[in-house]
């Protein structure tokens, strides 16, 4: 394919992406463009399935939906590629190091053999030949020293490269586990943590409680005041949740305007107290416009609490009971905590 043909194909994808965004009233942000460009390109099958399902379900592509798509299908893929490239780079570094060590080892072995030969020759040599043998030994020793210095230099350089890669990989791993908007753990990290914490609780027999938290009337904030305020609401809730957790507690964004907290070694009544503290803390906050002081109204959340049943619970059972309790809070008028029955 010629560069001209390739550019023509890319232009076609770009046009389809912009058309799709316009038709669905998607904000023209870079992360949104990357979603629809990938959709038009057609190679990311999972992204295409997710978008097609949202279209079939007649969902609005608001900031919350598009950000979830971006984090799940674009950002995750980029981070995965970074990890793969870093892994490949580490392999190349180690291959080079091993080759250098192997060369150095061969040089050392040859040096030892030559020393043995020199020793035998010295035994039969006259005084006039001794100087020549010493000169050869000095030359070989100097060569071996140079190889040793080169090996040390490469090992030092490789160690520095590996350290840089290690830092980069740690940053990528951290980003993969965090929600881009709120800065707390994302759904992927929650799915991994709940499995691990349930296994630990069942092994030790200790309590484990789950809190599901949902922002009341969140759609109203988005519809009446715009998505930027909706984003700010999510950040405020996330900040309160981070302030509440202690020790081994875990907080994450579960999806959309819903959050989840895992409280290990906490009985049901203790989890209820934590939930009430969260509810009161958020309900005490009033959203106001900075420049005019105009009130956007009270911010409240509804919460559901469940406690692990060690002998029977699977992950879905545990989450479902907390979710049912949450929707009971919604049915009871919101701004309420409900503990599983």
Write out the catalytic residue numbers.
257
Residue linked to tokens 């406690």: 307
Measured at the CA of 58, the angle between CA 57 and CA 64, to 5 degrees, comes to: 95
Q: DSSP code of 296?
A: E
Does the CA dihedral 314-185-231-32 come out positive or negative?
negative
User: Judging by DSSP bridges, how do beta strands 301-307 and 295-298 pair with one another?
Assistant: unpaired
Per the DSSP assignment, residues forming a β-bridge with 251 are 261
Distance CA 12, CA 8 (A): 6
* Residue 143 and residue 110 in contact, taking contact as beta carbons nearer than 8 Å: no
Distance CA 76, CA 98 (A): 33
Distance CA 274, CA 317 (A): 22
Burial class (CB in 10 A: 0-12, 13-18, 19+), 44: middle
* Residue 262 and residue 210 in contact, taking contact as beta carbons nearer than 8 Å: yes
């Amino acid at each position: 394919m010629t560069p001209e043909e390739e550019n023509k194909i890319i232009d076609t994808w770009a046009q389809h992406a912009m058309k799709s965004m316009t038709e669905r009233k998607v904000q023209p942000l870079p992360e949104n463009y990357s979603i629809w460009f990938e959709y038009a390109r057609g190679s990311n099958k999972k992204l295409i399935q997710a978008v097609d399902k949202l279209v079939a379900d007649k969902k609005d592509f608001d900031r919350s939906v598009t950000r979830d798509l971006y984090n799940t299908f674009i950002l995750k893929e980029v981070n995965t590629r970074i990890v793969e490239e870093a892994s490949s780079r580490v392999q190349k570094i180690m291959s080079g190091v091993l080759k250098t060590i192997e060369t150095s080892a061969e040089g050392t072995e040859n040096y030892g053999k030559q020393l043995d030969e020199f020793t035998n020759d010295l035994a039969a040599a006259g005084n006039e030949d001794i100087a020549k043998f010493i000169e050869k030994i000095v030359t070989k020793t100097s060569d071996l020293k140079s190889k040793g210095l080169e090996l040390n230099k490469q090992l030092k350089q490789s160690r520095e490269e590996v350290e840089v890669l290690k830092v980069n990989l740690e940053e990528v791993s951290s980003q993969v586990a965090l929600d881009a908007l709120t800065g707390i753990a994302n759904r992927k990290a929650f799915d991994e943590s709940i499995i691990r914490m349930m296994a630990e609780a069942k092994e030790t027999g200790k309590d484990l409680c789950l809190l599901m938290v949902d922002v009341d009337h969140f759609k109203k904030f988005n519809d009446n005041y715009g998505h930027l305020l909706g984003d700010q609401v999510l950040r405020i809730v996330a900040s309160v949740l981070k302030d509440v957790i202690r020790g081994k507690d875990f907080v994450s964004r579960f999806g959309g305007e819903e959050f989840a907290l895992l409280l290990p070694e906490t009985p049901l009544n203790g989890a209820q107290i934590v939930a009430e503290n969260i509810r009161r803390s958020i309900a005490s906050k009033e959203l106001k416009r900075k420049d005019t002081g105009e009130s956007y109204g009270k911010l409240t959340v509804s919460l559901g609490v469940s406690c692990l049943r060690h002998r029977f619970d699977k992950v879905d059972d545990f989450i479902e009971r907390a979710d049912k309790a949450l929707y009971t809070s919604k049915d009871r008028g919101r701004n309420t905590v409900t503990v599983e029955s």
